C-alpha cells in the first residue's frame, strides 16, 4: 500500500487515493478526489488496476472525476484568458489567403524541473525531473506563512524523476505552500565545480494553468511544468 494507490473502504462503497502515510497503521485518503480523511490501513483495500480497467470507476468516483474535470477546465480557461492566451482557434477569414498554421509548442529543453501531475482531475502529485546528463543531489521543503519545513532529500540520476514529494488538491490552490528546492549537480571526473542552486516556487493561477505540457520528457506524461534552472550557473553539453 503506497501513496497514489486507489483504495476502497471496507466499511462502505467509497473509493479514493492514498495521499499520505500518516504512520504504520494510518493513511490519509482523498475520497472521490474531493476531501481527505484518516483511515486505518486494515479498513481499506487496494483496487487493482485491472479491475478499474475492466469495470471502470464506481458511480460516485466517476461522477466526482467528471465534476472535477469540468471545474479544472473552467479554471484553466479563465486563467488562460486572464493571461491573454487564446483558448479557441481564431475564426477563419471569409476573404484573403488562409492564415498559416499555428506553430507547434517548443520542445522541453534540457534542465531541472518541478512537475505536477494529475493523480485524478482534482489531485496533483509533485515530482522533480532531472532532464540532464548529470546526477543531481536535491532537497525539498515547503514554506508556509514564512516558515520553512524540510521534507525530503535524495539523489536523482541523469534522465530520471523523483518519487512523489507531495499531493495537493486543486480546490486548495490559494492555500498551497511554496516549494523550496535546493539542487547540486554532480558528474564523476568532471572538471567543473557546480554551485548550489536554491529555487522557491510561488504558484499563480494565470501562469499555473498555462504551464501544462502534453508529453513531458523523462516523465512521459502530461504535467504542469516549471523550470528550476532558468538561469543555470553551469553549462549543458
Q: Quick check: is 60 in a domain?
A: no
Q: Quick check: is 173 in a domain?
A: yes
What is the pLDDT at residue 117? 93
Instruction: For residue 136, give the C-alpha cell.
Output: 543531481
Q: Quick check: is 51 in a domain?
A: yes
CA-wise closest residue to 226 among 114, 142, 111? 114
Q: How confident is the model at residue 172 (pLDDT cuts 50, 70, 90)?
A: confident
Q: How confident is the model at residue 231 (pLDDT cuts 50, 70, 90)?
A: low
What is the pLDDT at residue 78? 54
Query: How does the average pLDDT of the chain come out, rounded?
Result: 78
Q: Quick check: is 66 in a domain?
A: no
Pair (220, 120) in one structural domain: yes
Residues in the chain, overall count: 237
Rounded (10°) CA dihedral 137, 143, 149, 150: -10
Q: Is residue 170 packed enough to be buried (19+ CB in 10 Å), middle (13-18) or exposed (0-12)?
A: buried
Model pTM score: 0.64
All residues at 6 or more sequence positions from 146 whose CB lies less than 8 Å from its CB, including other chains: none
> For 29, what's the count of Cα atoms within 13 Å in the CB-facing half-sphere?
22
Average pLDDT over residues 6-25: 84
Lowest mean pLDDT among 79-83, 92-96, 165-169, 199-203: 92-96
72 neighbors 122 (Cβ within 8 angstroms):
yes
Per-residue pLDDT at 46 exceeds 50: yes
**How many folded domains does the chain comprise?**
2
Average pLDDT over residues 167-183: 92
Instruction: For residue 223, give the C-alpha cell.
Output: 504535467
Q: Quick check: is 221 in a domain?
A: yes
Pair (137, 220) in one structural domain: yes
Pair (124, 213) in one structural domain: yes
Q: Quick check: is 31 in a domain?
A: yes
What is the pLDDT at residue 109? 85
Calpha distance 214→24 (Å, rounded): 37
Instruction: For residue 234, give the C-alpha cell.
Output: 553551469
Range of the domain at 42: 6-55
Pair (122, 219) in one structural domain: yes
Q: Quick check: is 188 in a domain?
A: yes
Lowest mean pLDDT among 11-20, 72-81, 125-134, 157-166: 72-81
CATH number (domain holding residue 146):
2.60.40.1600
CA-wise closest residue to 185 among 130, 235, 137, 121? 137
Q: Quick check: is 103 in a domain?
A: no
Per-residue pLDDT at 235 exceeds 80: no
Per-residue pLDDT at 81 exceeds 90: no
Instruction: For residue 97, give the C-alpha cell.
Output: 489567403
Look at 87 and 19; give whichever has higher pLDDT: 19
Pair (116, 220) in one structural domain: yes
Pair (119, 209) in one structural domain: yes
Amino acid at each position: 500500500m503506497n501513496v497514489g494507490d486507489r483504495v476502497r473502504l471496507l466499511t462502505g462503497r467509497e473509493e479514493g487515493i492514498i495521499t499520505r502515510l500518516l504512520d504504520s497503521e494510518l493513511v490519509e485518503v482523498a475520497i472521490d478526489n474531493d476531501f481527505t480523511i484518516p483511515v486505518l490501513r486494515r479498513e481499506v483495500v487496494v483496487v487493482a488496476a485491472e479491475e478499474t480497467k475492466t469495470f471502470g470507476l464506481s458511480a460516485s468516483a466517476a461522477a466526482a472525476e467528471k465534476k472535477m474535470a469540468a471545474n479544472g477546465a473552467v479554471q484553466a480557461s479563465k486563467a488562460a484568458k486572464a493571461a491573454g492566451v487564446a483558448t479557441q482557434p481564431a475564426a477563419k477569414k471569409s476573404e484573403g489567403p488562409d492564415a498559416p498554421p499555428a506553430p507547434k509548442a517548443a520542445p522541453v529543453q534540457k534542465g531541472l524541473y518541478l512537475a505536477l501531475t494529475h493523480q485524478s482531475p482534482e489531485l496533483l502529485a509533485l515530482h522533480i525531473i532531472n532532464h540532464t546528463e548529470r546526477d543531481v543531489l536535491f532537497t525539498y521543503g515547503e514554506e508556509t506563512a514564512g516558515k520553512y519545513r524540510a521534507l525530503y532529500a535524495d539523489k536523482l540520476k541523469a534522465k530520471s524523476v523523483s518519487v512523489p514529494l507531495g499531493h495537493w488538491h486543486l480546490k486548495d490552490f490559494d492555500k498551497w505552500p511554496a516549494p523550496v528546492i535546493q539542487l547540486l549537480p554532480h558528474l564523476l571526473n568532471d572538471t567543473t565545480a557546480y554551485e548550489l542552486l536554491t529555487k522557491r516556487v510561488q504558484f499563480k493561477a494565470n501562469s499555473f494553468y498555462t504551464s501544462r505540457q502534453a508529453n513531458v520528457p523523462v516523465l512521459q506524461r502530461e504535467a504542469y511544468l516549471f523550470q528550476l534552472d532558468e538561469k543555470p550557473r553551469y553549462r549543458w553539453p
